[in-house]
Amino acid sequence: MRTIFLIFSIGIWHLSQTPARAADFDGTRPFVCTVMQVVACDRTGEVEKDAAEDVNLPRSFSIDVGNKLAISTGPAGETRKTSIETVRHVNGTLILEGVQLGKAWHAVINEETGKATITSTTEPTVFVVFADCSLDKPTAAAK
């Protein structure tokens, strides 16, 4: 019995010495997201799968929550910077919101896996973007 107590005590002590690891995509450090799929839907209900370039979106972008910026390079080579206006954490999810060029956008990113779903809306069209994020070092303007 004494041996079991000793092993249990050592196990508890060891767990208390292990630092808690923050979720990789909780916004404490910048990360890069790569667009995997884009779906567009217009007012008529027509739904299309598109490549990012076909709807004037970058293939990847950097997210820097600390500086409240999303940065990318557009299809024509221009640098795009978008302010992140709202940051929330809900049940292991990083939620970001903003507006760019009259388009409202909303991002939901799993803080553990980096899987992201982003919506962008205009009056006639909604875009749903599925992306995978990684901790690769973000560049000044993600391509």
pLDDT in tens, 117-139: 999 998 889 999 999 999 876 55
Query: According to the model, what pLDDT value does residue 63 have?
Result: 95
pLDDT digits (tens, 9 = 90+) for 95-114: 999 998 888 999 999 999 99
Query: According to the model, what pLDDT value does residue 137 have?
Result: 63
Rounded Cα distance between 134 and 131, Å, is: 10
Q: Which two tokens stand for residue 34?
A: 């790569």
DSSP type of residue 74: -
CA angle 20, 23, 27 (to 5 degrees): 125
Three-state DSSP at 46 gives coil
Q: Give one word for 102, left, alpha or beta, with left for phi > 0 and alpha for psi -120 to 50.
A: left
Query: According to the model, what pLDDT value does residue 53 have?
Result: 81
% of the chain surpassing 90 pLDDT = 57
